Amino acid sequence: MIITTHDPASGEIIAPDEENGKNATYTHPLVPRLVTVESVQPLGARMVRIRVAGEDLKSLRSVAAEDHVKVFFDRDEQGRPVLPTVVGDRWVDGRSMTSRDYTIRDANPAEGWMDLDFVLHEHGVAGRWAGTAQPGEQLALLGPRGSFRVKDVFDWYVLAADETALPALARWVSGLRAEAKVFAFIEVNDADDEIVLDSPAQLQLRWLHRGSSPAGSTDLLEQAVKAQPLPEGEGFVWVAGESMSIKPLRRYLKNELGLDRDNWDVDGYWRRGQADHDHHHDED
């Protein structure tokens, strides 16, 4: 996992807006980017990794595992991508454009490339596009706007995600130190969706198969997290997936386990029946 510690343009260290011993928050310049598909790599049965490249990525800042960009699917009359308009560091044409948020799985600003992992399905504009994407196609991106970095200072981690948050989980574990203990749970359809995760940490990984149940309809992640004994020392719990299915874990981690707010995060990446869920507005 490549983490950008210095601004690619100026060479200066990227300073956080706020920081404590456990985490740091950052705001980045809001930059529209025109990129070109360089390669399409299948991952499991229902996921592909699409590498995009371009000069606009050489200014990319990415300091955290959950960093994401907006991917735009609008085209002009000639079939070219429509770049979002940014005025005064604000995106001004958001309501008129079709976009989805995607985690930066990996990136190298110096070389000008970025990897994005897409879940393939017929019901969304992003999944349909990814299923037919070809090298040479162009795409418009925006961001990342900001970062929330959990520092690798904990003795152990419990990480739970469905396939929509799998890229963030995979990026996270790839960058943890060797002595960290990691208990990871990932919900997917079946064994065909399992992929290889590389990590220098002491990773214990369990795949949860929902079978014929619709995505976002089970409590597999909730039950897995609740059943996991917590080791000695200080830890961090992160859960990401369908917003309503993981919401009970907010109360569990805060009220039943009594974890400090800097020791957990439950992030609804999507919501059933909602096309473009904004997970930044989830309740704590």
Give the domains, in start order, of the chain with CATH numbers.
Answer: 18-147 (2.40.30.10), 152-281 (3.40.50.80)
Average pLDDT over residues 125-142: 96
CA distance between the termini of the chain: 29
Residues 6+ apart with CB under 8 A from 88: none
Q: In whole angstroms, give the CA distance from residue 187 to residue 135.
A: 30
The pLDDT score that the predictor gives to residue 12 is 75
Average pLDDT over residues 153-177: 97
- Asked if 210 contacts 194 with a C-beta cutoff of 8 angstroms, the reply is no
**96 band by pLDDT with thresholds 50, 70 and 90:** confident
Average pLDDT over residues 61-87: 95
Average pLDDT over residues 128-157: 97
Task: Supply the mean pLDDT for the chain.
Answer: 93
Beta strand 32-43 pairing with 99-108 = unpaired
Q: Which of 7-11, 170-174, 177-181, 220-224 has the lowest mean pLDDT?
A: 7-11
> Which two three-digit tokens encode residue 40?
């399409």
Q: Residue 9 above 80 pLDDT?
A: no
**284 band by pLDDT with thresholds 50, 70 and 90:** very low
The pLDDT score that the predictor gives to residue 4 is 61
Give the containing element (helix H, strand E) for 224. helix 220-227
**DSSP-derived 3-state class of residue 115:** strand
Residues 6+ apart with CB under 8 A from 68: 101, 102, 103, 104, 143, 144
Q: Residue 281 above 50 pLDDT?
A: no
* 192 vs 275, higher pLDDT: 192
- What's the gap between Cα 12 and its chain centre? 26
pLDDT tens for each residue of 182-225: 999 999 999 999 999 999 999 999 999 999 999 899 999 999 99
The pLDDT score that the predictor gives to residue 166 is 98
